Chain A
Amino acid sequence: DQQVKQNSPSLSVQEGRISILNCDYTNSMFDYFLWYKKYPAEGPTFLISISSIKDKNEDGRFTVFLNKSAKHLSLHIVPSQPGDSAVYFCAASSNNAGNMLTFGGGTRLMVKP
């Protein structure tokens, strides 16, 4: 039973345009949501997070939106740059689960120059 799903395995975007990566979850106990970026042969890198008490969090070019009623979150990257090409994972955790994260399967983003 996949509690966190990223339904698009890949996404291709032109440099300078917006990239929108989506994530759905089923567990209503999840309180925290995070996005990670991963390059080949490296560990995932933390990008941005959001608590369930918020619906939006921004950090530079990255914005995460949370729709609790739809159990959906998305990551917007504006403007997209070729260096953003990587695999993006969303992850979720609940308050009583310590630092345990449940990850989605990842979306490979390709930003074309």
Chain B
Amino acid sequence: KAGVTQTPRYLIKTRGQQVTLSCSPISGHRSVSWYQQTPGQGLQFLFEYFSETQRNKGNFPGRFSGRQFSNSRSEMNVSTLELGDSALYLCASSPTGVLYGYTFGSGTRLTVV
């Protein structure tokens, strides 16, 4: 059974640019969540999509957005990149119910220069 796939694994962007990250969840999982991990702030919730609808949103500026497609694949977009957006972006999928735990992908390491 394939795991959660995130592409690309590494990305270097220039301040002011925009970036799109992709996540393919485990087959059958309808919930996809995104997290940002930084050394200073730890793992912080960005948003969750369930059946193509954003169900929850964390405390991030509007430059961070996402969407989910009918096949449950999800993308997140960050516009007008800032140096502080450099982080590991993790995607996680779940069939239903947080008690079953997410399955995380290996993440996309974004560096903004």
Task: List the interface of chain A (C-beta within 8 A of B).
Answer: 32, 34, 36, 41-46, 49, 51, 89, 91, 93, 97-106
- CB of B55 within 8 A of chain A? yes
| Nearest CB in chain B: distance from A52 CB, A | 11
Q: Which residues of A contact B4 (CB under 8 A)?
A: 43
- CB of B26 within 8 A of chain A? no
CA distance A106 to B97 in the complex (A): 23
Residue contact A106 to B106, C-beta cutoff 8 Å: no
CA distance A41 to B44 in the complex (A): 17
CB closest residue in chain A, given B91:
A43
Known: A100-B48, A100-B58, A102-B45. A43 touches B107 (CB 8 A): yes
Q: Which residues of A contact B97 (CB under 8 A)?
A: 99
Residue contact B103 to A100, C-beta cutoff 8 Å: no
| Nearest CB in chain B: distance from A45 CB, A | 7
Contact with A along B56-74 (1 / 0, CB 8 A): 1010000000000000000
From B45, B50, B107, give the contact of A101 (CB < 8 A).
Answer: B45
Q: Which 10 A-B pairs have the closest CB atoms?
A: A43-B104, A46-B101, A103-B43, A100-B56, A98-B55, A93-B98, A105-B42, A98-B56, A99-B98, A44-B104
Residue contact A101 to B102, C-beta cutoff 8 Å: yes
Q: How many residues of B contact A (CB 8 A)?
A: 27
Given pairs A89-B42, A91-B43, 14 additional interface contacts (CB within 8 A): A41-B106, A43-B107, A45-B104, A46-B100, A46-B103, A49-B101, A51-B99, A98-B56, A99-B33, A99-B56, A99-B94, A100-B48, A101-B102, A103-B35
What are some 18 contacts across the A-B interface (CB < 8 A)?
A32-B99, A34-B98, A34-B99, A34-B101, A43-B106, A44-B90, A45-B104, A46-B100, A49-B98, A98-B48, A98-B50, A98-B98, A99-B102, A100-B58, A101-B98, A103-B35, A103-B44, A106-B42
Known: A42-B106, A51-B99. A89 touches B33 (CB 8 A): no
Residue contact B42 to A104, C-beta cutoff 8 Å: yes
- CB of B31 within 8 A of chain A? yes
| Nearest CB in chain B: distance from A56 CB, A | 15
